[in-house]
Structure 1
Amino acid sequence: MLEIRRAADRGRASFGWLDSRHTFSFGHYYDPKHMGYSALRVINDDTVRAGAGFDTHGHQDMEIISYVLEGEIAHKDSAGNIKRLPAGEFQLMSAGKGIYHSEFNASQQDTLKFLQIWIQPDQLGGEPGYQQKDFGQREGLTPVITPDGENGTLSIKQDARLSQLILAAGESLVLTQQAGRRFYLHQIKGQLTVEGEILSPGDGLKVAHQSELIVSNQGDVSVTALVFDLP
């Protein structure tokens, strides 16, 4: 089963300093047909004005991933982490029993664009955690987040995996899906062809009951996407 979620059909919130596109229901945007997918609850595509950002606010029992597309995030949280997150890096904050944080555009001149992703944990409570890493731009499928933090990946409190997919022009890859698992693909850059369907930036794809999935780059520029392997 393949189900495409087109970028233009996503929810939208605009506050002057922030323009956000919501893949799933979030805040004032509610669509009972798009409440999440498996443990994946939120993908917000955020554009933040220079010098602006999210004031200190709290989270509990949620795995929160940030992936910067352009610019740099200035992060500060109640666990004492004061960090900068530049373009290309992944951040995973485990809220656990509760944490407060703020996220601001670190630049006073340039726009910040990043993906805010929430995954529901399978462990409640516990101490909050913070992880951050740049996984580079290697072609193919690069594991970024896993349940056990294997091979230098970030460790998440859920039986879920996130990988970065990069394909050069003319390249293809076969994704293997284990029985009972689900994939979600979020397109970031270029156009990705999946089983004859074309995904453009901001598009998403639900995949279930598909043992193999052929993804290819039939365009002239490199393709970047995120691949979620979900329970």
Structure 2
Amino acid sequence: MIEFRKSSQRGSADFGWLQSRHSFSFGRYYDPAQMGFSALRVINDDRVSPGAGFDTHGHRDMEIISLVLDGVIAHRDSTGQVAELPAGEYQLMSAGRGIMHSEFNARTNQDLHFLQIWIEPDSLGGEPGYQQKPFAQTPGLTLVASKDGAEGSLRLKQNAKLFQLRLDAQSALNFQTQAGRKLYLHLVSGSLSGQSGEQHISLQPGDGVKIADLTDWQFSSGAEPVFALLFDLP
């Protein structure tokens, strides 16, 4: 099964200080056919004006990953965590039984561009937590988050894996997952194609694709380097 989610099909929100594109139903944007995929619930592509941001608000029972593409996030939460998240670093906030937090554009002269990702945990309640880490920008697959924290990845409360996929221009990479697993691919930049047997995909920035029952892939870049997020899901 392959189901495309083109960038132009995403939901949108415009609050003046915030411009957001939603790959799945979120906030005022509701589409019963786009309520997530497996444990993946949200991918929001957010752009925040200088100095603006999200006032203190609460979450529970959700694994929330942020990746800054440009700018810096100023983070504060009810566990006492105060941090800045610069471009290229990943943040994983486990809401557990409940957490309050705020996120602001830490710069007054630069827009903030980041991805916010929600993954449903495999158990409810528990202690909230916070993790933050940079990962190598080298070409290939880099494991960013996993259940057991393998390869120095962030520890995720779900039997899922998040990979960072980077390819140089005109290059290829093979990927294999276990039978019965699902994949979701979100392209951040570049032009990406993929092949599994006789099945083909082609993505442009902002596009996503749901994949099931196809375990072996070869991903290829075009004339520009590729940056994508690959989710291996239960």
In structure 1, how many angstroms separate the alpha carbons of the residues matched to 2:125 and 2:232?
24
Conserved 8 A contact 2:170-2:224 = no
Distance, in Å, in 1 between the alignment partners of 2:150 and 2:136 is 17
| 1:47 to 1:25, Cα distance in 2 relative to 1, 3 A | same
CA distance in 1, matches of 2:177, 2:152: 23
Residue 68 of structure 1 deviates from its aligned partner by 0.5
How many Å apart are 1:14 and its aligned residue? 0.4
Give the paired residue count.
230
Residue from 190, 210, 215 that aligns with 2:214: 210
Between the aligned partners of 2:66 and 2:117, the Cα distance in structure 1 is 6
Q: Distance in 1 between matches of 2:173 and 2:139?
A: 10
SS of residue paired to 2:65: strand
Question: Does 1:230 pair with 2:222?
Answer: no
- TM-score w.r.t. the length of structure 1 is 0.98
Q: Matched residues, percent identical?
A: 60
Q: Does 1:200 align with 2:200?
A: no
* Residue equivalent to 2:89: 89
1:120-199 correspondence to structure 2 within 5 Å: 120-195=120-195, 196-199=200-203
Q: Aligned to 1:103, what secondary structure does the other structure show?
A: strand
Deviations along 1:43-66, one digit per CA (max 9) or x if unpaired, are 000000000000000000000000
Q: Secondary structure at the match of 1:83?
A: strand
**Structure 1 outlier segments of 4+, above 6 Å:** none
Distance 1:85 1:60 in 2: 21
What displacement does 1:198 show? 2.0
Q: What TM-score do the two structures reach when normalised by structure 2?
A: 0.97
Deviations 1:91-134 (A, max 9, x none): 00000010000000000010000000000000111110100000
1:5-41 per-residue CA deviation (whole Å, 9 max, x = no partner) reads 0001100010000000000000110101110000000
Deviations 1:154-208 (A, max 9, x none): 0000000000000001111121121110000000010111234321111001111
Distance 1:203 1:110 in 2: 25
User: What aligned pairs does 1:102-113 form with structure 2 within 5 A after superposition?
Assistant: 102-113=102-113
State the partner residue of 1:57: 57
Name the CA distance, whole Å, in 2 between partners of 1:80 and 1:154: 20
Residues 57-91 of structure 1, C-alpha deviations (whole Å, 9 max, x = no match): 00000000000011000000000000000000000
Counterpart amino acid of residue 118 in structure 1: W
**Is 1:117 aligned with 2:121?**
no
Deviation at 1:214, TM superposition (A): 1.5
Secondary structure at 1:51 match in 2: coil
Between the aligned partners of 1:194 and 1:68, the Cα distance in structure 2 is 26
Unaligned stretches of 5+ in structure 1? none
Structure 1 residue 8 corresponds to structure 2 residue 12: no
